[in-house]
Amino acid sequence: MTVKDKTVLVTEANRGIGQALTAEALARGARRVYAGTSQPLLHPDERVTPLSLDVTSTAQIQAAAGQVESLDMLINNAGIALPDDLTDSAVLERHLAVNLFGTYAVTQAFLPAVTRSRGAIANILSVNAPAPLPFIIPAYSVSKAAAFSLTQSLCARVAGQRVRVHAVLPGPVDTDMTRGSDIPKSSSESVALAIFDAVDNGEDEIFPDPAQRPWPPAGAICSQAA
Site residues (vs ligand NAP, CB under 6 A) = 11-12, 14-18, 38, 54-56, 77-81, 98, 102, 124, 126, 170, 172-173, 175-178
Q: How far apart are CA 5 and CA 95, in angstroms?
A: 34
By beta-carbon proximity to ligand NAP, the closer residue of 159 and 186 is 186
Name the minimum Å distance from CB 109 to ligand NAP.
13
First-to-last C-alpha distance (Å) of the chain: 16
Residue 75 burial class via C-beta count within 10 angstroms: exposed 0-12, middle 13-18, buried 19 and up = buried
By beta-carbon proximity to ligand NAP, the closer residue of 28 and 95 is 95
Name the minimum Å distance from CB 16 to ligand NAP.
2
By beta-carbon proximity to ligand NAP, the closer residue of 159 and 171 is 171
Q: How many CA atoms lie within 13 A of 157 on its CB side?
A: 9
Q: How far apart are CA 176 and CA 194, in angstroms?
A: 20
Number of H helices, E strands in the chain: 7, 7
By beta-carbon proximity to ligand NAP, the closer residue of 15 and 31 is 15
Name the minimum Å distance from CB 63 to ligand NAP.
14
Name the minimum Å distance from CB 94 to ligand NAP.
9
Name the minimum Å distance from CB 177 to ligand NAP.
4
Kindly list the distances between the CA atom of residue 120 and the CA atoms of 22, 46, 115, 212, 219, in Å, as whole numbers in the listed order: 16, 23, 8, 24, 15
Q: How far apart are CA 144 and CA 96, in angstroms?
A: 8
